[in-house]
Amino acid sequence: LNEMCTSPFFVLSGAAGTGKTTIIHAFIEGILSKRRETFLLLAPTGKAAVRLKEKTKKDAFTIHHILMKNGWLNEKNYSIKLAGGERVAEYQNVIIDETSMVDLEILGALFKALDWGVVKRLILVGDPNQLPPIGVGKPFDDVLKHLRRSSFEKNLGILTVNCRLLSKDSAILRFADLFTSKKSLAEEEMLNLVAKGGNIGEDLEVCYWEDVDNFSELLNRKFDEMLNGDNFNPEKPYEAFNALTGITDKGRDLNLSAIQILSPYRGDYFGTDLINTELQEKLRRGLRGSGSFKPLDKIIQIVNVNLPKWYKKAYDKSIRDYVHTYLFNGALGYVEDFYQDKYGKRMRVTFEIDPNVSVNVAYEDQQKWLELGYAISVHKAQGSEFDSIILAIPSQKLTLVSKELLYTALTRSRKRLVLLLQKNVQAILHALWPGSSELLKRNTSLFMIWEAPKDLDNFYTDKLIHTTIREELVRSKSELVIANRLASHGLSYYYEKPLKVSETDFVRPDFTIMYAGEEWYWEHLGLLDDEEYRKRWKKKEKWYKEHEFHDHLITSQEIEGLDSKKIDELIERRFPECEIAS
């Protein structure tokens, strides 16, 4: 907090549950207790702006709102203007939340719009483990890396203690922690629990499906279980859904975030398009609508739309007048009804972000602006939170499955998450592999030139890696030393290859080494001075013994330091016939 108050630029970074917004609220209150200053709180999405406002008790806006208001966006298509906008000159403190979602072009436009003669402090807040922006670049990640390798590290605050886990154990957050850059012996424990399926803790459930018929039955059963309450009638599931989401209350107590289905994909039977069609048939059967929509359908806005008051498209029921409003990409709402006036067919919709406002949408705009919102993509869910989530992750299609996508999806849930996996944990293992990272695949030149590794697409959990010295991806400096020495001795090995007793009982050695026709397993014990780490290692070592792999187990540690010479001696002692490269 002291550095934030005294620095003109500061970055606050932390995973979900580490208290970023709490720090921001304390910072604002601290400044205001000493002097009168102005604050501009920004977020990339409407839902994220609402959450920021709720937690800080201060007005918050989307970046697009500020840019549009000051003339830096074209009204028709929201494209960025290179010049001509007005300066945003009334704010001394600018705080941007969820910065990992902000692309380079939008951030550049905002920086052009701000009056830097007035701004005293710029604070970027974000989670480095989330998906990178849909647009160009990865500026938040670039800024983090630049601060770490420069002399400005005091301008970076990294929150590491998970406050939510301290107050209440969450299997969701423990599972999500696997997809951060940290490496822990707890991984195998959680992976084995996930592989076995069923309930893990109080907030996470894992279920498996085989094919399209099995998936549809499982999805519908879990959806009904989430609706199962005093109002649930299996013959009339729409009654429970409407009551849970507040749709039946004329929009005044909307809670469309009560339940949400997520998928990485639109197409195929596990994608959002088909799931939405099935749920619409389940919940709105018999209702007559227009185009793809029916009355009371849950919807999501898919484009940014500016509606000036004189358009007479947004009517505020609380003041009984038309108002100027912005419809932001990603906003959730529902269909009130359909009607026809002298201009043609209309659909009236209400959005959760402002339940008092009804927006009339012309027939020709319905498909351009809106989609069904029972199921949405993980990318669309960024910046939002939901009470209960059903997350569908296939193993037959892994093109979009990354560690950032799994982490983002898991951390959207406030109360409960049901994870639907296809057949086994292959998709999870794929996402855990560093080569699946979306951030690594982004070229950038903001501070220095970074090009994605050319053979990154070939880095999968089941592929042999020979060239660690030449761009291998491992998770720690110690592993890098070991991998380089193994390669220098001409030894072939796998990195984090699962060692399975069964599909639900396995560990992942740091290195699996092939020597004289046999497999050897190398575990590097980097934190033996930590009591909890030692306990977990004893448990893992017991697994090796019980399953008769212990005779082929090699361990290294770094309590007294780790260097190449020690690793060389260990390699030559265990593998005497290998030859070191000159």
b/e code 151-177 from CB counts within 10 Å (16+ = b): eeeebbbebeebebeeeeebbbbbbbb
Q: How far is CA 331 from the centre of its chain?
A: 17
Which residues does 473 contact at the CB level (< 8 Å), separation at least 6?
433, 434, 435, 440, 453, 459
Residues in a beta bridge with 370 = 301
Backbone angles phi, psi at 262, to 5 degrees: -125, 145
Instruction: Determine contact, residues 339/348, Cβ cutoff 8 Å.
Output: yes
Spatial neighbors of 176 by CB under 8 A, at least 6 apart, are: 15, 16, 406, 407, 410, 411
| Domains in the chain with CATH codes | 1-159 (3.40.50.300), 466-574 (3.40.1350)
The residue among 377, 379, 407, 405 whose CA lies nearest residue 268 is 377
CA 318 to CA 530: how far, in whole Å? 59
The per-residue pLDDT for 211 is: 92
Q: Looking at this protein, which amino acid is placed at residue 577?
A: E
State residue 329's pLDDT score.
86
Contact assessment for residue 388 and residue 260, using Cβ atoms and an 8 Å cutoff? yes
The label of the residue with tokens 């939340």 reads 97
* Contact partners, residue 285, CB within 8 Å, separation at least 6: none
> Which helix (DSSP H) or strand (DSSP E) does residue 416 occupy?
strand 413-422
pLDDT in tens, the chain (582 residues): 888 888 999 999 998 888 898 999 999 999 999 889 999 999 998 888 888 998 899 999 999 999 989 999 887 777 888 888 899 989 999 999 999 999 999 999 999 999 999 999 999 999 999 999 988 999 999 999 899 888 888 999 999 877 665 557 789 988 998 998 666 677 788 988 999 999 999 999 999 999 998 999 999 999 999 997 666 788 889 999 998 999 875 656 789 999 999 999 999 999 999 999 999 999 999 898 888 999 999 999 998 888 989 999 999 999 999 999 988 888 999 999 999 888 889 999 999 888 899 999 999 999 999 999 999 999 999 988 999 999 999 999 999 999 999 999 999 999 999 999 999 999 998 898 877 888 888 888 888 887 776 655 544 444 333 344 535 667 777 888 898 888 888 888 888 888 988 878 888 899 999 898 899 999 999 888 888 888 889 999 999 999 999 999 999 988 777 778 888 989 999 998 776 654
Q: Hey, how many other C-beta atoms are within 10 angstroms of the C-beta on 71? A: 14
CA distance 297 to 281: 10
What pLDDT is recorded for position 516? 86
Determine the longest span between alpha carbons in the chain, in angstroms: 89
Query: Six-digit token pair at 26?
Result: 């304390």
| Angle, in degrees to the nearest 10, between helices 531-546 and 186-196 | 60
Give the number of residues written for the chain: 582
Global pTM reads 0.86
Task: Fill in the DSSP letter of residue 317.
Answer: T
Predicted pLDDT at 230:
63
Region of 165 (left: φ > 0; alpha: ψ -120 to 50; beta: rest) is: alpha
CB 21 within 8 A of CB 57: no
- pLDDT score at 461: 41
* Predicted pLDDT at 358: 94
